[in-house]
Amino acid sequence: MYQVTKRLEVAGAHSLTLPYKSKCTNLHGHNWIITVICQCADTALTNGMVIDFAYIKLAVMALDHTNLNGLVSQPTAEALAKFIADSIEHCTLVRVQESEGNEACYMKPTHVCL
């Protein structure tokens, strides 16, 4: 099994709809640190790669300098991690850090690439 990891930083704004008083209901931004992990068995490698790093960058940087509410209805760090994981081939895990000490992770439950 092969694994590749790409870490990128994107700036994005969002606001959350919450059933309690929170400053996060106001539009605000973060410099999100996104870590993408993709895995694949050697029999499924394309061009000798799990995935081209440039493709991961393209998918993640599409979020840069955007209002994330336009992409995900409730753009929590958890929802963004799943959104990114679902958009990248062979992606098994995405970590989204919205600030120092605050990170969410989404791992595909049954990812198998043979």
Architecture label for domain 2-107: 2-Layer Sandwich (3.30)
Q: Once rounded to an integer, what is the mean pLDDT over residues 44-50?
A: 82
- Mean pLDDT for the chain? 92
Question: Domain spans of the chain?
Answer: 2-107
For the stretch 51-107, pLDDT in tens is 999 999 999 999 999 999 999 999 999 999 999 999 999 999 999 999 999 999 999
pLDDT at 112: 52
Confidence tier at 40 by pLDDT (50, 70, 90): confident
Nearest CA among 52, 39, 34 for reference residue 3: 39
Q: Which residue has the higher pLDDT, 10 or 41?
A: 10
